[in-house]
Chains A and B, each alone.
Chain A
Amino acid sequence: KQEVTQIPAALSVPEGENLVLNCSFTDSAIYNLQWFRQDPGKGLTSLLLIQSSQREQTSGRLNASLDKSSGRSTLYIAASQPGDSATYLCAVRPGGSYIPTFGRGTSLIVHP
């Protein structure tokens, strides 16, 4: 059974720092990996999706990488801003299934 772990569970940083959020998974036979943002009490917003054949995806200040062999993905946030404060979740979809497994998320606070 696929297990997805996100470390750290919580992170508090000053504005302007470059951040790395980690997502690890136990089964490397994945179809894709998706990063989401969730504001308190709100729904999940898709940030980036990486196919198993890809190494990274970029959107603005966000860059997500994927290393299947080591079972890891990282979400890099450049020049963090208070508006980046949210919980970030990763979800791994296994090959041959449409059911993703979610991590529990990293709660990020960026203070001015």
Chain B
Amino acid sequence: DADVTQTPRNRITKTGKRIMLECSQTKGHDRMYWYRQDPGLGLQLIYYSFDVKDINKGEISDGYSVSRQAQAKFSLSLESAIPNQTALYFCATSGGTGTGGPDTQYFGPGTRLTVL
């Protein structure tokens, strides 16, 4: 089973709808991140959390909110989706001393979101 999972994997929605993207991890990491990827723009950080009681805005948090329900779960919400939020969304985790080395970052498979 994958260490970092995301649901849904694909979502098509309409402008103005509220959308929630979910992320779960089994790596036991404290740190979790939400990124957005647009063609040609690389990865942009939306929000990050270093433990259940810690939530921080990233570089593009406007129009998004998050919830850290447990160490293993970190959800991203689009309160009122708009077309320019169409993108690929990734959840990532880091922490500990995994096989990749201290603080290796691990990514989920991504959610492709289309806002019409």
Total contacts A to B, CB within 8 angstroms? 55
B94 contacts the other chain (Cβ, under 8 Å)? yes
Give every chain A residue within 8 A of B4 (Cβ-Cβ): 43
A96: Cβ under 8 A from any B Cβ: no
Which of under 10, 10 to 19, 20 to 34, or 35 or more describes the interface residues of B? 20 to 34
A111 and B43 alpha carbons, distance in the complex (Å): 27
| Interface stretch (choices A18-26, A45-53, A65-73, A75-83) | A45-53
The B contact surface, by secondary structure, is strand
- Size category of the binding interface on chain A: 20 to 34
Q: Tell me if B74 counts as interface (CB < 8 A to partner A).
A: no
Inter-chain contact B107/A93, CB cutoff 8 Å: no
Please name all residues of chain A whose beta carbon is closer than 8 Å to the beta carbon of B50 when the two chains form the complex.
98
Q: A46-B106, A98-B50 are in contact. List 10 more A-B contacts (CB 8 A).
A: A32-B101, A42-B110, A43-B110, A46-B104, A49-B103, A51-B101, A93-B103, A98-B31, A102-B43, A103-B42
Instruction: Provide 7 A-B residue pairs closer than 8 Å at the C-beta atoms, listed in order of the A residue.
Output: A43-B108, A44-B90, A49-B101, A49-B102, A102-B43, A104-B41, A105-B42
